[in-house]
């Protein structure tokens, strides 16, 4: 394979697309022999690994975001946390907060993550899924496997971070992936503390 010369223009273009550092972009292009798409994937993998290491760090700063749907009959309040006030003031953090608030308005989650689903609600859903599987004639011995698989859809419906991001054209990116991308870019842990969704006439 012919070795591609990595030019400053290539590095600059990759920086514009990923917002990663110049040296990181150059290294990624060098490792992928100038293949921009592979370099983007490599930078994303590196960012995700970095974000996972930051996931246990305390988040006590942040902002409250609000979203009011046209017509003033649907609104959202969201507390999004980060590690420092400096990051809370960045455009990337604020854009993330706005996107998540719109997600809540559109997709109507009831909890932030799987851990917030009550044991009572979870058992109730398992019973429903079991009854459905039996009605479909599924054999008893594989019921647990079927229920586990279908629970993913349940979590995707009610857990905010498990939901598919409404503005992702690929239909593969979840809200937690959206957050991970921003964590990788800003270098701080980011977490959703709580949210409330209000709709006129809704209990």
Q: Taking Cα atoms as reference points, which of 90, 89, 81, 86 lies closest to residue 62?
A: 81
8 Å CB contact between 162 and 176 = yes
Cβ(174)–Cβ(153) below 8 Å: no
Q: Are residues 136 and 97 in the same domain?
A: no
Are both 152 and 163 inside the same structural domain?
A: no
Domain count, the chain: 3
The DSSP output letter for 3 is P
Domain co-membership, 37 together with 128:
no
Rank 79-83, 127-131, 138-142 by mean pLDDT and report only the highest: 79-83
Q: pLDDT tens digit string along 87-118?
A: 999 999 999 999 999 999 999 999 999 999 99
Q: Is residue 3 part of a domain?
A: no
Position 190 in a domain: yes
Provide the domain limits for residue 142. 118-157
Which tokens hold the place of 2?
């012919």
Of residues 9 and 45, the one with the higher pLDDT is 9
**33 part of a folded domain:** yes
Q: Which residues pair with 65 in a beta bridge?
A: 78
Query: Residue 26: its pLDDT value, please?
Result: 85
Mean per-residue pLDDT, 163-187: 88
Backbone CA torsion sign across 12, 17, 24, 191: positive
CA separation, residue 132 to residues 120, 145, 146, 150, 153 (Å) = 19, 14, 10, 11, 14
Rounded to an integer, the average pLDDT of 34-61 is 71
Query: Would you say 168 and 75 are in contact if contact means Cβ atoms under 8 Å apart?
Result: no
Q: Residue 68: is its pLDDT beyond 60?
A: yes
**pLDDT confidence of 29, banded at 50, 70, 90?**
confident
The 10 Å CB-count burial string (b at 16+, else e) for 27-41 is bbbeebebebeebbe
Q: Confidence band (pLDDT; 50, 70, 90) for 79? A: very high
* 161 has pLDDT over 90: yes
| Residue 178 and residue 89 share a domain | yes
Of the two residues 186 and 81, the one the predictor is more confident about is 81
Q: What is the pLDDT of residue 175?
A: 95
> Same domain for 165 and 144?
no
Looking at residue 48, its pLDDT comes to: 54
Verify that 107 and 186 share a domain, yes or no.
yes
């Amino acid at each position: 394979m012919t070795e591609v010369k990595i030019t400053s223009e290539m590095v600059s273009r990759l920086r514009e697309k990923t917002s990663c550092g110049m040296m990181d972009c150059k290294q990624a292009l060098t490792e992928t022999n100038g293949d921009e798409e592979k370099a983007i994937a490599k930078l994303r993998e590196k960012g995700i690994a970095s974000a996972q290491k930051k996931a246990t760090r305390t988040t006590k700063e942040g902002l409250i975001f609000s979203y009011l749907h046209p017509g003033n009959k649907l609104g959202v309040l969201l507390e999004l946390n980060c590690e420092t006030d400096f990051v809370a003031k960045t455009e990337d953090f604020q854009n993330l907060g706005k996107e998540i608030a719109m997600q809540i308005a559109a997709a109507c989650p009831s909890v932030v993550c799987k851990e917030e689903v009550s044991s009572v609600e979870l058992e109730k859903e398992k019973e429903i899924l079991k009854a459905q599987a039996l009605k479909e004639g599924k054999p008893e011995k594989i019921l647990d496997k079927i229920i586990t698989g279908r629970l993913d859809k349940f979590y995707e419906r009610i857990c905010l971070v498990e939901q598919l991001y409404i503005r992702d054209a690929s239909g593969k990116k979840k809200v937690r992936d959206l957050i991970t991308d921003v964590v990788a870019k800003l270098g701080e842990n980011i977490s959703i503390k709580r949210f409330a969704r209000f709709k006129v006439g809704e209990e």
